[in-house]
Chain A
Amino acid sequence: MRRKILDPMTNQIEVLKVPWYPQQDVEWTCVVNSLKMCLEYMKNTYNNRATREIIPNMNIDEIMKITHTRRFAGTVVDSNFVRNLNSNIEGITFSLEQDVDINKLKIKLEKGIPSIAIYNCEYLIYGIRGAGHAGVIIGVTENDIVINNPWLGSEYFVAHEDFVPAWELEFNQAILLEPDTQSKLGGE
């Protein structure tokens, strides 16, 4: 469920073994690719067998369809989006929250669960406000957040002080996952 990697100071740290799905040819599918990473991990690596058995195999096109992701504009991230995820994906309950703090993500990680943070990637790189971007949080250390970033690469280290303002611009939004072995008959 976890693997050891080296941080920028060459200290050994542990991160969740979440596979990375890049989105190099299509610019507007970061939410879709982040969901794909989480689903793959929860389906194949997460330590609860009952959960793994329930979660469906979904390809990028199927996720695009249920999230109504559209050309140029990306994914509409709101309560309907969460409702669609919950009624189409067994084994996980998704929630969309604002004003999430790092501790909440850390608690999830301790349970072996990744989260998807919505943050401002252009602000992170260039200091300019730009598109809201999704990435999968796979580790948090004292100094860094470790993200599987569909644009920039896997196990991407971002210092807390850089991540916090980029996340604040997106009102500290995160898509949180909670394993749910109860079958969601008929959705919510």
Chain B
Amino acid sequence: MIQEQLVDLPVDERNAEKIAYNWIKGNIGNIPHVGNPTLKGEIWSVPVHVNYPRIFKDISTDRPQKVRFMSFKNLGEIKIDANKGLIIDKPTFYDITHKINENLNFVQRTVQKALVKVGANKFAELPFSSHMHSPMLDILSWILVNDRIDLSIDFEQINEDERNKYYQNIELLIKYGLLEMEGDILIPGNYLIEIESKDNHYHEKLSKALSFFFEQGYEEIESIFQVIGPHLTISSICYEQSFEFGSVIPLNYSEIESAFMKTYRAEIKRIKLPRYLVQLEAVDILESKTIAGTVTWSANNNLFNKMCSEKEVLEPITALIEA
């Protein structure tokens, strides 16, 4: 309708903004907003930005405490004919929502990296039985117990998919100095030898090796996720909220459950959630407290402060949050 009204009229900046605004509100939703139009030749380009809201609740009063906005810039561009006021190019709904999701995941992954780096020893203390199936644990345990792996013999009988998973993890362990490879033979790397020399029990050696990998290899967050996925997800829910809020903020069980189930949709994980929380408290990654009759879970204050001091790791998202 507006486009028809503007036919034959030169479109000024405010008109261009309004055309883009109406298109966004009428096709994408109320959350994205327009940026400043720029004129290139006879085309107005209007960027689409999203300042994604995060609402923080005061558990003692059950009321909102603060709202903050994460700034995701230039998720799309609307191009408008400056003479006719017609939209000549635009992003799709999927483009925009996909990019919002990507940005939210990026924030989550970055917080996880910083958290794993500073909390490496605590994550490595989680009971091994609770770790997900992880080729990394298998390889480290094998090397600690049997001293060597001959790839041409020991991995010959397993299927190709499994073998590839093991090879990917072997590459990472070599990269961070926990393993060395001579031909087809894998042996302990210098750092693993150092770890072996200091501890007597295998579970301690394994825990130290994992801790070393988490601390040095925090950038390999996808591989780390395979080892401590649910624990990392839950702890990062608490630490990310606190990071976005600016200080440690307690969350109630239903908030954690709701966020956790967005990552793990399988109902079995809902049953396991309390156990994960208890285990995370046991290694001082989370703390539980009862506030106004409600059990809450929050980040460990010391670990949170350490995480926030990891400026280099958090740098890519600091501007998104502060904005």
Contacts and interface: CB of A to CB of B under 8 A. Distances in A.
B64 A153 contact: yes
A21 to B, nearest CB: 12
B63 interface: yes
A183 interface: no
20 contacts: A25-B255, A25-B258, A71-B97, A72-B29, A72-B97, A73-B28, A73-B31, A76-B26, A76-B29, A77-B26, A77-B30, A121-B67, A128-B51, A130-B53, A130-B69, A131-B32, A132-B31, A134-B30, A151-B64, A152-B67
Contacts, number: 105
A126 B21 CA distance: 21
Interface in A89-118: 118
For the complex, would chain B's binding face be called helix, strand, loop or mixed by DSSP majority? mixed
Given A25-B255, A78-B25, A125-B67, A151 B53 contact: yes
B323 interface: yes
Contacts of B54: 27
Nearest to A71: B97
B7 to A, nearest CB: 20
A63 interface: no
B97 A131 contact: no
Given A74-B31, A120-B33, 6 more contacts: A27-B54, A27-B55, A28-B29, A73-B28, A131-B32, A131-B50
A69 B53 CA distance: 16
For the complex, would chain A's binding face be called helix, strand, loop or mixed by DSSP majority? loop
A27 B51 CA distance: 11
Contacts of A69: 29
Interface of A: 22-25, 27-28, 30-31, 69-80, 118, 120-122, 125-126, 128-134, 151-153, 170-171
A132 B67 contact: no
Pick from A24, A79, A118, A129 the residue with the most CB of B within 10 Å.
A24
B96 interface: yes
